[in-house]
Amino acid sequence: MKMIAYYLPQFHQIPENDKWWGEGFTEWTNTRKAVPLFKGHNQPREPLNDYYYDLTNPEVRKWQADIAKQHGVYGFCYYHYWFKGKKLLERPLEDVLLTGEPEFPFCLSWANHDWIKRNPKGKNQILIPQVYGEENDWKEHFYYLLKAFLDKRYIYKNNKPIFLIHFPGQIPNCSKMLSYWNKLAKENGLDGIYFVETMSGQPITNINGFDARVKFEPMYTLSHGLRATTNVKALLQGRKKVFKRLSNKNIRMRIFDYDMVWRDILEHTIEEKNWDKPIFPGAFIDWDNTARRRLTNSIVFEGASPEKFGNYLKKLIQLNVGNEFLFINAWNEWGEGTYLEPDKKNKYQYLEQIKKLTQCINSTFCDF
């Protein structure tokens, strides 16, 4: 099984973020501002050796690929942002395509959502709306993506480049767009595009044109699971002072049990064997988006550890024998507390868990 980690390209300065959030803003700005909100809260999340990198530096991208490769991560799935011809955070991937480095597999996930500035005391501000356009716009978008699809490092399935779409249900005429892109792909020497519908917190769609689905965890299970959403009150017993202090009309924070959600993930994997199309499993490291959202609709998981992650990931792999890909959330989502990159608390331990599992998978003595 090939493990692919989602990759956030927001660790570099762009004019739009300077305008919206202040000069010099990157994802590290959020991470550095994080503070513990209750006893035992693991904040701030600090990179090992204070390595607050800049993704426009090719040495950083090489370092990321090197440690990923050394620990058994197969490739990165870069988040892609496209707003009817307007690109955001495109520099890291475009540099990867231009230079041919690092030599590491990758694919793309279109994070097709509005960019929003949340206001806990008033109306949220849409910084840039997600607009899709018509056929001419789809054509422009396709030819931008084609440069990546034709790259020798791009990840393929059934001789087609894999392309994930985060919120397909929000795209008007989505089936028509996918069909048009497949037509253009074949006109340009490809067998088509292997479209993957991301299943997260939105209703599951039945849009024609998708070849497979992928679970984006933990959001999929939080929205579609059973025990994870019904036992929050039980989890909060014994922590009433903390939750009461953090809860008022302007502050909403939910705390979930790491083990409970992971058990739901494993149980649903067993139950979902007969779906109408292939499902790529999803895993997550941890979750805590208070660095990004502070106290407004933030979610915190309690109980995560490298050892637990390794054990649950092993069980997930065992339940998905024969499935080619597994998507991990994430490589570097520091603002959401889910990352494989080394930090001061756990160092390389999460990556070591993946290394141990991939070595086992590739061994004739593995118990999978």
**What is the pLDDT at residue 32?**
97
pLDDT at 270: 67
Does 366 fall in a domain? no
289 occurs within a structural domain? yes
Cα 122 to Cα 117, 250, 296: the distances in Å are: 11, 9, 12
Asked if 215 contacts 281 with a C-beta cutoff of 8 angstroms, the reply is yes
Where does the pLDDT of residue 205 fall: very low under 50, low under 70, confident under 90, or very high at 90 and above? confident
Task: Give residue 191's pLDDT band: very low, low, confident or very high (50, 70, 90).
Answer: very high
Domain count, the chain: 1
What is the arithmetic mean of pLDDT over 167-188? Answer: 98
Q: How far apart are CA 114 and CA 134, in angstroms?
A: 18
Give me the chain's average pLDDT, please: 91
pLDDT at 326 over 60: yes
- Please check whether residue 367 lies inside any domain of the structure: no
Residue 274: pLDDT above 90?
no
Q: Looking at 54-68, 224-238, 261-275, which range is the least confident one?
A: 224-238
Tell whether 275 is covered by a domain.
yes
Please report whether residue 200 resides in a domain: yes
Spatial CB neighbours of 66, under 8 Å, sequence gap ≥ 6: 102
CATH at residue 263: 3.20.20.80
- SS3 of 162, please? strand
pLDDT in the model for residue 296: 72
Does residue 237 have a pLDDT over 60?
A: no
Q: With respect to residue 82, please indicate whether it lies within any of the assigned structural domains.
A: yes
Predicted local confidence at residue 245, as pLDDT:
45
Tell me, yes or no, whether 105 lies in a domain. Answer: yes
Q: Own/partner pairs for 177-181, CB < 8 Å, 24+ apart?
A: 177/132, 177/138, 178/207, 178/208, 178/209, 178/210, 179/209, 180/135, 180/138, 180/139, 180/142, 181/138, 181/142
Judge whether 83 lies within some domain: yes
At residue 120, the pLDDT reads 67
Q: Does the pLDDT value for residue 193 go beyond 50? A: yes
Domain extent at residue 151: 2-361
Cα dihedral sign, 237-200-202-249 = positive
What pTM, to 2 d.p., does this model score? 0.93
